[in-house]
Amino acid sequence: MQPLHGIRISAVLVLLATAAAAMAGALDSRPNDGSGYWPDFSNTGYANTPANAGGLDLGPYPGRLKDYAANMSATRPITARYPDNSVISYTRFLASKVIIYGDNLTFVGCLFEGKSPNDNLVQIYAPNSITFRYSTFKPNAYARPPGNDGTVSSAHVKPGTPFKKSWQLMTTMKEAVALMDHNDVWGNAGLLMVTGFPGRPSVWTNNYIHDAADTSHDVYHHDGIGPQSEGNGGPMVIDHNTIASLGNTNALALQGSGVYDHIAFTNNYISGYGYALSFGVKNNATNLAVTGNVFSAELHQLWGPLYGNLWGGTPRGSLWRNNFYQVRQGDDNKSYSPADHGRFWWPTDNKSHAQDFSG
């Protein structure tokens, strides 16, 4: 075969076939259905840490965690100070708040649990970077989210974790850019972390973000990744995550009026919330890549898939391709029916389409 722009047509066909097969798997699967395709209880969190996670030459989860300190309590804070560049593995932190100091720290296979209503469970003071891999962030009162029996992405009924037993946020207090990979996060209201800086993107891969707290009330804004309320954020890489919950705001909560730039939101499973995605409150986002995502009707949703249909658009360097609706009989989002299953999700309206978006 003749080359096409330096690539053999046969190679292009293989890539297209691989992408089509992956998309079929994405549409046929849901978190906690036994397939392991999406991030869920089977492949995220401390108990699922494999050997050599992050290339750090650590062993797999040893079957138990060591306590950070004796006599820890969900009613008292912990201040954890580490030398720069430390790797902290298989450690349990129980506190009203875990305050972390140290730069370029990496946490692997750790458990952060406690109760911090209207406050941070994890508060990070680092100037450059922080990494969490295969770690779990949860309320201490529950082993599993209320209403989630392990067969659904997130509980289908309110209220989730009651407010007084919940935690609100995980927050970076300085300019540390986070790498979040294979973490299990629930019982909270959001993840308020630096979006990134030119040349230093925040990276979110293979995380299971689900079962927001206190969904019967409006004490919390329920966000998955976010909120970021100022704008002028990015770059971000958000790839192959499950972000699913009942709630009142956004799975991706970029909610400011400033420009969001170089945001890659790819290959994710999204369901529930108020709007699934928000890329700002003005149509000024630039260089977005929104590709390969599944918007699932599994969970009830308040309004629609994309806040204000705002994404900057192709004139601002953005790309919207291969985003699909997933709908099954009996799903809780009644705006869609099984006739919409496998059809394309466009950013310009809340309807499914037979052809991909090309604007």
* Mean pLDDT of all residues in 245-254: 97
Q: pLDDT band for position 217 (50/70/90)?
A: confident
**Does residue 332 lie in a domain region?**
yes
* pLDDT on residue 18: 55
Q: What is the model's pLDDT at position 302? A: 96
Specify if 5 maps to a domain.
no
Residue 2 counted as domain residue:
no
Question: Which of 23-27, 144-148, 246-250 has the lowest average pLDDT?
Answer: 23-27
What residue numbers bound the domain in which 56 lies? Answer: 22-353
* 344-354: average pLDDT: 96
The whole-number pLDDT of residue 64 equals: 98
The pLDDT assigned to 359 comes to: 82
Mean pLDDT of 330-339: 98
DSSP-based three-state secondary structure for 81: strand
Q: Is residue 179 part of a domain?
A: yes
Which letter, b or e, does each residue of 109-130 get, where b requires 16 or more Cβ atoms within 10 Å of its Cβ? bbbbbbbbbebbbbbbbbeebb
Summarize the confidence of residues 266-270 as an average pLDDT.
98
Q: Which burial class, exposed, middle or buried, applies to 270 when counting CB atoms under 10 A from its CB (0-12, 13-18, 19+)?
A: buried
- Selected residue with higher pLDDT from 17 and 303: 303
Q: What is the pLDDT of residue 2?
A: 41
Residue 6 lies in a domain: no
User: What pLDDT band is residue 23 in, cutting at 50, 70 and 90?
Assistant: confident
The predicted model gives 132-138 an average pLDDT of 98
List all residues 6 or more positions away from 104 whose beta carbon is below 8 Å from its beta carbon: 84, 85, 126, 128, 129, 130
Name the band, by pLDDT with cuts 50, 70 and 90, for residue 143.
very high
Cis peptide before 201 (omega within 30 of 0): no
* pTM confidence score: 0.94
What pLDDT, on the 0 to 100 scale, is given for residue 159?
95
Number of domains within the chain: 1
Query: How confident is the model over 179-206, as pLDDT tens digits?
Result: 999 999 999 999 999 999 999 999 999 9
Looking at residue 8, its pLDDT comes to: 54
Q: Please check the confidence at residue 7 and state whether its pLDDT lies above 70.
A: no
Average pLDDT over residues 203-212: 98
Confidence of residue 11 (pLDDT cuts 50, 70, 90): low
Helices (H), the chain: 9-28
3-state SS assignment for residue 291: strand
1, part of any domain: no
Domain presence at residue 7:
no
How far is residue 248's CA from residue 217's CA, in Å, rounded to a whole number?
9
User: Is 90 exceeded by the pLDDT of residue 237?
Assistant: yes
Non-local (6+) Cβ contacts of 71 within 8 A are: none
Residue 4 lies in a domain: no
Q: Which percentage of the chain shows pLDDT scores above 90?
A: 92
Query: Using 50, 70 and 90 to split pLDDT, how confident is the model at 24?
Result: confident
Closest-CA residue to 284 (of 260, 252, 256): 260
- Number of Cβ within 10 Å of residue 341's Cβ equals 18
**Is a pLDDT exceeding 60 seen at residue 358?**
yes
pLDDT digits (tens, 9 = 90+) for 66-96: 999 999 999 999 999 999 999 999 999 999 9
268-291 mean pLDDT: 96
Strand locations in 193-326 (E): 196-197, 200-205, 208-210, 225-228, 236-239, 242-245, 250-254, 263-266, 269-272, 275-279, 289-291, 294-296, 304-306, 319-321, 324-326
Mean pLDDT of 268-290: 96
Question: Is the per-residue pLDDT at 9 higher than 70?
Answer: no
Which is more confidently placed, 216 or 8? 216
Q: How far is CA 193 from the centre of its chain?
A: 12
Q: Which of 5-9, 229-233, 336-340 has the lowest mean pLDDT?
A: 5-9
